[in-house]
Chains A and B, each alone.
Chain A
Amino acid sequence: MSKVLEGIRYSESHEWVKAEGNIAYIGVSDFAQSELGDITYVDVPGEGEIVTKGVEFGALESVKTAADLVSPVSGKIIEANGSVIDAPELINQDAYSAWIVKVEMSDPSEIDTLLTPEEYGNIAK
């Protein structure tokens, strides 16, 4: 049974977002990491790249498959998590502490359109 963390929001494509003011930390859910299996490569653009809600901005590769990362919010990447890029296994170990990119949101109200932990728990089965 995969874990759904309280206090953050989710997308239908299995990303999570933790907002601090207009800054969003984006990662993938525990369900996503368990479906992917051992993640071997994190492919994300660097600082300054513009991301758009609902649009693919990177990819994860695992031993089983490759999956697009779809941005749950719009804005500008202000940091890609170097530790996770160097050690993708961090996502498998704890999906909710292994944020992948930090985004400065252009419209923080987009957060409210995302799934609540309860709603996400119903689809991540």
Chain B
Amino acid sequence: MRYYDKLVFELGKSGRVAFSLPEAKTGAVIPAELRRSSSPALPELSEVDVVRHYTNLSQMNFGVDTGFYPLGSCTMKYNPKINEEIASMPQWQGIHPLQPDSTVKGVREVYGKMERCLSAITGMARFTFLPCAGAHGELTGLMLMRAYHESRGDSARIKVIVPDSAHGTNPASAAVCGLQIVVVKSRPDGRVDVDDLKPLLGPDVAGIMMTNPNTLGLFERDIKQIAQLVHDCGGLLYYDGANMNPLVGVVRPGDMGFDIMHLNLHKTFSTPHGGGGPGSGPVGVCEKLADLLPSARTSAYNGNFSVILKAYAYILMLGRENVRMAGRLATLNANYIKESLKDVFKLPVEGVCKHEFVFDGLIDDGSSTGQNGATTLDVAKRLLDFGFHAPTIYFPMLFHQSLMIEPTETESKETLDSFIEVMHKIAMEAKNDPSILHNAPHNAPVGRPDETLAARQPVLKFTV
């Protein structure tokens, strides 16, 4: 990889253009006092310079098309190219959200059929496609939770219970929605402690937010009992769909007792994720909340249609029979890595996991050599040298050296084996000479940026 770190502002020359726009005729429309007196300082480049700039930058990137990406709780699964092909069809690309309904019947049909698919997969009665990401879905779902209680004149319900292993977005979304957060502890086996939950329940509880399987990749076996307890106190259950991948076609949140949920189409349903977005976080509700759906108007128009279309393509590609295989293979892959590496990494909770699991750092971090021990950060940095994306690190915060691995279903045994081999090699290096890890990465274009300096004295704009 050739190192490339130029900014587009550093390129080009005054007067150079890639595209010539016709002269603007807006002068008469925009009042003089609103017009700028000088030209904006935009980069001036030829088309080929622009193309090379962004191509060079893109080659510095690492994506799921480049290599293995075991980022726990993010479900960085491969995005089948047929999804893109279908979403790129000119019949979809030219549409506008404001064109008359009668001219976009096909789009309406996709929304309708997708809603039926998601309802069948989750056991929810209705879905809204407005939310454009997971956290956006959480906020929408919590607004529906509030609307439900308020519609019954039950305005004292201001608390949301969140497990200590929850995704950070859960308490954050609850806070944005004006609700108070109460934390329920996990038991040593990594599941929600029902005995700790019971005293938290009461007439002030709006609901509980749960991920199942949770962030340790463990199925919450007591979910039926938890649902009963929460419903008995008048609260609702919110399902965070971030970890839905292993359950598709196997178990339905609606059957577990959840009332509201979101799905991350950009995780579970194979649409691009992260910087490759945009995302989509459809929210489903059970029958008793269905009439409230229109009250949570959290985006303009009707969400990110192209993402919904890609996810619909994924579901149809697999079909009812095969969609359940994805989660099963993801579960098999995760357990294969876990069992293959637990001789060198600490596994805090034994047993079968679902699609992901968490190690708590190295068993032998090399501190017996007299040097500082190798940390989870060091392991993650060293992985980059071998062409793997690092797993999620230091989350969940239940452990000090969390290393959260999610391989997804699309990886071959050969890919898994080469990852396992590299992780063993790294563990051996740590044991014998942790300095190799402290100084990693050795091959990446950027080593260890000074995160502290960047956080304390951020430089937020380019200056010549």
Contact = CB atoms under 8 A, between A and B. Distances in A.
Interface in B381-404: 394, 397, 400
B452 A38 contact: yes
A40 B455 contact: yes
A37 B290 CA distance: 46
A12 interface: no
B451 interface: yes
18 contacts: A35-B400, A38-B451, A38-B452, A38-B455, A40-B452, A40-B455, A40-B456, A41-B455, A61-B455, A63-B451, A63-B452, A63-B455, A64-B394, A65-B394, A65-B397, A88-B456, A89-B452, A89-B456
Given A41-B455, A61-B455, A65-B394, 7 more contacts: A35-B400, A38-B455, A40-B456, A63-B451, A63-B455, A64-B394, A89-B452
Interface of B: 394, 397, 400, 451-452, 455-456
Contacts of A88: 456
A28 to B, nearest CB: 16
Contacts of A40: 452, 455-456
Looking at chain A, what size class is its interface with the partner chain?
A: 10 to 19
Contacts of B400: 35
Chain B CB within 10 Å, residue with most, of A64, A88, A89: A64
Interface of A: 35, 38, 40-41, 61, 63-65, 88-89
B361 to A, nearest CB: 13
A88 B455 CA distance: 11
Contacts of B397: 65
Contacts of B394: 64-65
A38 B451 CA distance: 9
A35 B401 CA distance: 10
A3 B397 CA distance: 22
5 closest pairs, A vs B, by CB?
A40-B455, A38-B452, A63-B451, A40-B456, A64-B394
A4 B451 CA distance: 28
A65 B394 CA distance: 8
A85 B394 CA distance: 25
Contacts of B451: 38, 63
B393 to A, nearest CB: 9
A91 to B, nearest CB: 12
Nearest to A63: B451
Nearest to B393: A64
A38 B452 CA distance: 6
A48 B456 CA distance: 27
A40 B455 CA distance: 6
Contacts of A64: 394
Chain A CB within 10 Å, residue with most, of B397, B400, B452: B452
Contacts of B455: 38, 40-41, 61, 63
A42 to B, nearest CB: 11
A38 B450 CA distance: 11
Contacts of A38: 451-452, 455
A88 B452 CA distance: 11
A88 B400 CA distance: 22
A104 B397 CA distance: 33
A25 B456 CA distance: 25
A35 B376 CA distance: 13
B378 to A, nearest CB: 13
A38 B455 CA distance: 10
B337 to A, nearest CB: 24
A38 B448 CA distance: 14
A39 B455 CA distance: 9
A40 B458 CA distance: 11
A64 B397 CA distance: 10
A67 to B, nearest CB: 9
A98 to B, nearest CB: 15
Contacts of A63: 451-452, 455
A41 B400 CA distance: 21
Chain B CB within 10 Å, residue with most, of A35, A63, A65, A89: A63
A40 B452 CA distance: 7
A114 B164 CA distance: 24
Contacts of A65: 394, 397
